[in-house]
């Protein structure tokens, strides 16, 4: 279980600092000619600003009823229609192949094992147009950051503590109120291997949201 429903009630505050990715995904959506799908849509933080300028209904998959309810309410407040589907991204199935499938805010790291990710990548490959794009963002593990943060109580955003389990490539986030969530990081080669087994081709690899190419 990577996502405690109680974490969802603090998600708006938790994600408040994450704004840099929105223009990146909006730009991709504006260039995509066809259906748009967000995996792990959460509260619609990215899908709503994607739907606004494109005028298109974004399909959003999420396994959490509480997050989907937040997305429904926020979309209604923004006057935007989202096609929200409670489902697991490992079992992605679309009626129509997508032009763009995207997964912001390292949500693929919510999948614990390589095989969970392989299933997701294979479902993406089966659900995307031949000229379509699958885009996600993740972080690279940095031992210096891990050493600094491990076990340290942090007040920012929502008071919390993170613990690193390096042998399991897992980060456990515990909010002071008891809510939990976990992330399983992956290396660049693992991501490239996932593209390979799913029959997808790497088009670009960026080191951030400004378009700088990753070396």
Ligand X SMILES: C[S@@+](CC[C@H](N)C(=O)[O-])C[C@H]1O[C@@H](n2cnc3c(N)ncnc32)[C@H](O)[C@@H]1O
| Position with the least CB separation from ligand X | 42
Helices (H) and strands (E) in the chain, counts: 8, 9
Segment lying near ligand X (by CB under 6 A), choices 26-34, 36-44, 76-84, 207-215: 36-44
45 binds ligand X (CB under 6 A): yes
107 binds ligand X (CB under 6 A): yes
β-pairing verdict for 170-175 and 160-165: antiparallel
Q: Of residues 64, 127, 137, 182, which one binds ligand X by CB under 6 A?
A: 64
Helix (H) or strand (E) run with residue 171 in it: strand 170-175
Segment lying near ligand X (by CB under 6 A), choices 61-69, 144-152, 163-171, 186-194: 61-69
Segment lying near ligand X (by CB under 6 A), choices 38-46, 51-59, 138-146, 149-157: 38-46
89 binds ligand X (CB under 6 A): yes
Q: Are 135 and 25 in contact (CB under 8 A)?
A: yes
Task: Judge residue 42's burial from the number of C-beta atoms within 10 Å of its C-beta, 0-12 exposed, 13-18 middle, 19 or more buried.
Answer: buried
Which residues are CB-neighbours of 33 under 8 A, at least 6 positions away? 99
Site residues for ligand X per CB under 6 A: 2-3, 15, 40-42, 45-46, 61-64, 67, 88-90, 104-105, 107, 110-111
């Amino acid at each position: 279980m990577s996502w405690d429903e109680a974490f969802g009630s603090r998600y708006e505050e938790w994600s408040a600092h994450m704004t840099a990715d929105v223009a990146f995904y909006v730009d991709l959506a504006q260039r995509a000619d066809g259906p748009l799908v967000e995996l792990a849509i959460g509260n619609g933080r990215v899908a709503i600003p994607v739907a606004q300028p494109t005028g298109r209904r974004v399909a959003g998959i999420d396994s959490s009823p509480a997050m989907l309810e937040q997305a429904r309410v926020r979309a209604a407040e923004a006057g935007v229609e989202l096609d929200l589907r409670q489902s697991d991204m490992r079992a992605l199935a679309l009626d129509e192949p997508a032009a763009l499938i995207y997964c912001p805010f390292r949500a693929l790291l919510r999948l614990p094992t390589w095989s969970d990710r392989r299933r997701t990548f294979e479902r993406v490959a089966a659900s995307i147009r031949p000229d379509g794009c699958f885009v996600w963002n993740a972080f690279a593990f940095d031992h210096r950051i891990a050493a600094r943060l491990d076990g340290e109580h942090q007040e920012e955003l929502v008071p919390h503590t993170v613990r690193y389990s390096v042998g399991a490539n897992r980060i456990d986030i515990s909010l002071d109120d008891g809510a939990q969530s976990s992330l399983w990081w992956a290396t660049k080669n693992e991501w490239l291997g996932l593209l390979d087994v799913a029959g997808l081709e790497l088009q670009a690899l960026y080191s951030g949201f400004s378009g700088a190419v990753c070396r």
